[in-house]
Structure formats: structure tokens, C-alpha cells
Amino acid sequence: MFRNLLRGSAIAAVSLLAASTSFAAEITLWIRADGAAFMPPLVEAFNAQGEDKVTLEIIPAAQLLQKYATALAGGSAPDALSLDLIFTPSLAEKGQLEDMTAWAKSLTYFDALSPAHVSVGTYQDKIYGLPFAADASILLWNKDLFAEAGLDPETPPKTWAEIESFAEAINDPANDTYGYYFSGSCGGCGIFTFTPFVWAGGGEIMSADGKSVMLDSPQLRSAMELHRGYGGEGASSRGRRIGSWQ
């Protein structure tokens, strides 16, 4: 029965559902707050269709890892949780996640799951997590600001050079209008905003085996130069806009 719940939530992908204990008739499921909009209806539908019941707990993302560690130490870990994918190798290595390889591969829809997202739930050829929720890195443009700057609002930038030139055309700090914004003092924001520039340039962040960071690639250096040029002397590290910082 629990597989149906997994299937419903596994259609989207990026975070991981990592198992910590064996599945049971009374299932405890912890999720980060970013899943608060879609998981309660799924759990309600699941609970309405069978004898097994899921108890859902929504936890702020910044508190989940510590709460999980405390629960493990006290022997009260949940049956499943939505875990930030970056923690999977560390927790799996310490034996704090359950090997769900055989169960995962027995799912009739396993081959339809995103291979990339399954891979980040895999450690030393064992699966500890399956796709759970979707995130995406995208650039949005303000059509009104484009029009005010004399740019075609229906033609977004397609290259790094166009992002920079369009942003400069829009930039008007005197009127609190900025052509580009970049989150500075925010690790997750930085990764979600910055790394796509590296990939778009044909570069990689990690080595093929995932054991080392590729800090000296031309693509990464180019992306860093691009964003460094958006700042200004005396800028702080909280956020970046064309010509100034937040």
C-alpha cells in the first residue's frame, strides 16, 4: 500500500525519499516544509484507500537533519522522510538509512523514474532514496521592465552576453530598479542560481565519479567572472544586482 503513496509523489523529482526503518501498517513520514502544499492531499488520499495509515509531520528544512539525528539516537526515527539529496552519502555511510535496492527495483515503474535523481539516492551501488519532489532553476524576466527599457518583452536573453546587456539597459539604481539579482549569502540559492550557468556553458561541477569538485574548469571560471562583474566596489555579500548589491 505504501508503494502507491511513493508512486504518487515520485512523479516529480529532485529531493529524495530516504527510508530509515522498515515499512509498517502505521507509517510515519517526515517531509520538509517545501512539500507542505502537495503532500497532505496525497497522504489523505492514501489513508482513505486502505488499512495502512500514514502520519505526516511537516518540519522546517533547516531543522530536519538535527531532528532526524536526535530521533535516530533515541530509536524513534520515522519510517520515511524527504531528505535533501546532499546528505544521502553521509547518512548512508554511517548506516543511518535503510538499503531499499531490492524493493525499489521491484516497483513496476522503477525504470520510468528519472535516472539522474535515482543516482543521487544511490551510494556504493545501493539505493537509499527515490525521487520525491521537484525543484527547478530558471531565469525569469520582467516584461514591463523590458518594455520600459526599450527591449522586446517577448524576447528573453539567450546568452550570457545578452543577460548582461539587457540587465544594463534596465538598470536604474536611482529609481530602485535593477537589471539582475543574484542571491549572495545563501548557499542553496547560490547553487540553484549559479551552477546552471556552468552547465549551460558546457562545464561540470563534479567529476564523473562524484568524488571531487572541478573548480578549475574554463566554464566555471567564466561563470564566476560573469557574476563578479555584476557587483561593484564596496559591495556586501547578501545579494547582487547589476551595478549594486542588496
Residue with cell 563578479: 228
Judge contact between 198 and 223, C-beta under 8 A.
Answer: yes
Q: Which value, in Å, is the radius of gyration of the alpha carbons in the chain? A: 22
Q: How far apart are CA 16 and CA 58, in angstroms?
A: 15
Q: Phi then psi for 27, rounded to 5 degrees?
A: -105, 130
Residue with cell 565519479: 209
Residue range(s) defining the domain that contains residue 124: 2-134
Does residue 147 sit in the same domain as residue 240? yes
Q: What confidence tens digit (pLDDT) does each residue in 142-167 have? A: 999 999 999 999 999 988 888 888 98
Per-residue pLDDT of the chain (246 residues; tens, 9 = 90+): 233 333 333 333 334 455 454 554 888 999 988 888 899 999 999 999 877 899 999 999 889 889 999 998 898 999 988 888 888 888 998 889 999 999 999 999 999 998 888 988 999 999 999 988 767 778 889 999 999 999 999 999 988 888 888 988 988 888 888 888 777 677 777 777 888 888 888 888 888 776 788 888 888 888 888 777 665 443 333 333 443 333
Domain count, the chain: 2
Does residue 184 sit in the same domain as residue 68? no
Nearest residue to 113 via CA among 185, 17, 232: 17
| CB burial readout 77-104, b (16+ within 10 A) else e | bbbbbbbebebbbebbeeebbbebeebb
Amino acid present at 119: S
Last residue in a domain, options 134, 166, 190: 134
Judge contact between 17 and 9, C-beta under 8 A.
Answer: yes
Q: How far apart are CA 238 and CA 183, in angstroms?
A: 7
Does residue 20 sit in the same domain as residue 112? yes
Q: What confidence tens digit (pLDDT) does each residue in 195-229 have? A: 888 888 888 888 877 678 888 888 888 888 877 76
CATH number of the CATH domain containing 96: 3.40.190.10
Does residue 206 sit in the same domain as residue 236? yes
**Size of the chain in residues:** 246
